Amino acid sequence: MNSNKKVSIIMPVYNAQEFVLQSLESIANSSYRNLEVIIIDDCSTDNTEKIIHDFIKTDERFFYFHNTSNRQVSISRNNALRKVTGEYITFVDSDDYISNDWIENLVHTAVTKDAHIVIGKTKQVKAEIEIDYNIKMLDEPKELFFSNIILNKNAVVWNKLYRTELIINNHIYFAPDIYIGEDLLFNYKAMFYALKIYYNDKGYYYYLRDNETSIMNKSQADNYCRNIQKVLNCIINFNNLVGKKNASVVKKQVRDILLQYYLADRHCKINMKELRSVDFLAPEMVKLHLLRKRLFRKEENKK
């Protein structure tokens, strides 16, 4: 395509020696050439650093940085955001990879549709089997609106292209003290400010589910409730701060967060006392009676 827009790719890495080379090669082989790749190493203890250094010697578009201490994924991404020089930003995790037309298709849509955010198509890879990562409402190319976007599975940052000025001018960064839901908060703010959001269904981002040492897995906090309380609180505080009455949007996001994190099988051990502790964060109109009944029903079925 005829575009000279530079794309900044942000890649946080941690102990990714088994996967990072494939990830780097997929980016280097991209049909879209005007790239800068900002790699932030969060103090890996394996062979990751050497693999990256050996690879980037032959490609001046790749830049390697090393955190002075282990800071977790949010701070790594924030450090990279402060270094970007491209007109667009996207994220690629070090254990994932992209098709060679992924970025080209995202940029083409961003330019032709004048979109601030472009959401791309994803395949989930587990045990070398590829499965479409289906997201509700994303079934064909179309414009999307903040008021009806379902963040849940679409909360991730790695399936999107963002206009840089959208992120920088609105001071959108990752919350450093949140380890579950940090992508959701980032996207909530970005989509709130975006003038146009578009879905493109060409090319693929390949999301690897096999890596147990990835930054995402390393960042899982022990206290789910505390993190989700922070996420809900940040959403509601942000809504109050900007002075917009998006009660219905906040209600939907609170509902989706609670359903995702409190009704998933791995979280069924959360007790009612913990669940009640998030009640005060929900808008007055959000009632959790149905949620509680479903949770009790799942607990009863396990007995």
Specify the pLDDT at position 272: 54
Specify the pLDDT at position 284: 42
Rg of the Cα trace of the chain?
19
User: Helix, strand or coil for residue 108?
Assistant: helix
pLDDT tens for each residue of the chain, 303 residues long = 557 899 999 999 999 999 999 999 999 999 999 999 999 999 999 999 999 999 999 999 999 999 999 888 999 999 999 999 999 999 999 999 999 999 999 999 999 999 999 999 999 888 778 888 777 778 888 999 887 787 767 889 999 999 999 999 999 999 998 887 889 899 999 999 999 999 998 889 999 876 544 544 444 444 666 777 788 788 878 887 777 656 667 667 766 666 665 555 444 455 555 555 555 555 443 444 445 555 555 555 555
Structure token digits, residue 290? 């149905």
Helices (H), the chain: 20-28, 48-56, 72-81, 102-112, 164-169, 182-193, 215-218, 224-241, 247-262, 272-276, 289-302
- What CATH number is given for 7-218 in this structure? 3.90.550.10
* DSSP-assigned letter for residue 91: E
Cα distances (angstroms) measured from residue 96 to each of 2, 165, 197: 27, 26, 24
Residues with Cβ within 8 Å of residue 134, at least 6 apart in sequence: 153
* Residue 78 and residue 183 in contact, taking contact as beta carbons nearer than 8 Å: no
Q: Where in the chain is the domain with CATH 3.90.550.10?
A: 7-218
Query: What strands lie across the sheet with 197-199, from one edge to the other?
Result: 62-66, 35-41, 7-13, 88-91, 160-163, 117-119, 197-199, 142-144
pTM for this entry = 0.84
- At 256, give phi and psi (nearest 5°): -65, -40
* Residue 278 and residue 228 in contact, taking contact as beta carbons nearer than 8 Å: yes
Residues with Cβ within 8 Å of residue 155, at least 6 apart in sequence: 181, 183, 184, 187
* Residue 30 and residue 64 in contact, taking contact as beta carbons nearer than 8 Å: no
